[in-house]
Amino acid sequence: MKPDPGTIVVVEDNESDADAARRAIEQWGGPGTRVVVAEDGLRAAELLLPSRNRSSDATSAPGLILIDINLPGLDGLELLSRIRRHPPLRHVPVVMVSSSAEEEDVLRSYERGCNSYVTKPVDVRTLRSLYATLANYWIRINASPRARLA
């Protein structure tokens, strides 16, 4: 699995929140930044993890994964666990972006290996600003070993 630091995967079942994420990240990122949206945990797992029909070399490791906790099918916490068990994705930054501010959700996310947990604001403009800030920090500012481990 080759690293692709310009790709950001957003796992979000709320269409307006996914659109806000896509727009904010594309505006922030410029050329070379690609946003891939998976509308649920199962689609994200198909995209990110090897299966019987596709080897792990078929996909590039993204530079950042943003996951909502409450997803249909495969919830965000289980998706996070699967990502962390897959060696090529072990060092990819994963941020849980959820409307839940429950301490239990925060704790379980960190126990399963998230790098950060943020609560989604209700206002769309603030939400777009949050996504732009996350992408800027995790792609441009944060030093990550992911590019050197491929």
Q: Is residue 38 part of a domain?
A: yes
Q: Hey, how many other C-beta atoms are within 10 angstroms of the C-beta on 129? A: 15
Q: Is residue 137 part of a domain?
A: yes
Cα–Cα distance, 91 to 86 (Å, whole number): 10
Report pLDDT for 140.
Answer: 82
Q: Is residue 149 part of a domain?
A: no
Q: Hey, how many other C-beta atoms are within 10 angstroms of the C-beta on 69? A: 23
Query: Looking at residue 9, which CATH number applies to its domain?
Result: 3.40.50.2300
pLDDT digits (tens, 9 = 90+) for 31-41: 788 999 999 99
Q: Is residue 106 part of a domain?
A: yes
For the residues 121-145, what does the mean pLDDT come to?
A: 89
Q: How many domains does the chain have?
A: 1
Structural domain that includes position 41: 3-143
pLDDT digits (tens, 9 = 90+) for 89-106: 999 999 999 999 999 999
Q: Is residue 148 part of a domain?
A: no
Query: Would you say residue 1 has pLDDT above 60?
Result: no
pLDDT digits (tens, 9 = 90+) for 10-67: 999 999 999 999 999 988 877 788 999 999 999 999 999 987 555 544 457 899 999 9
Q: Which residue has the higher pLDDT, 124 or 29?
A: 124
pLDDT band for position 138 (cuts 50, 70, 90): confident
Q: Is residue 22 part of a domain?
A: yes
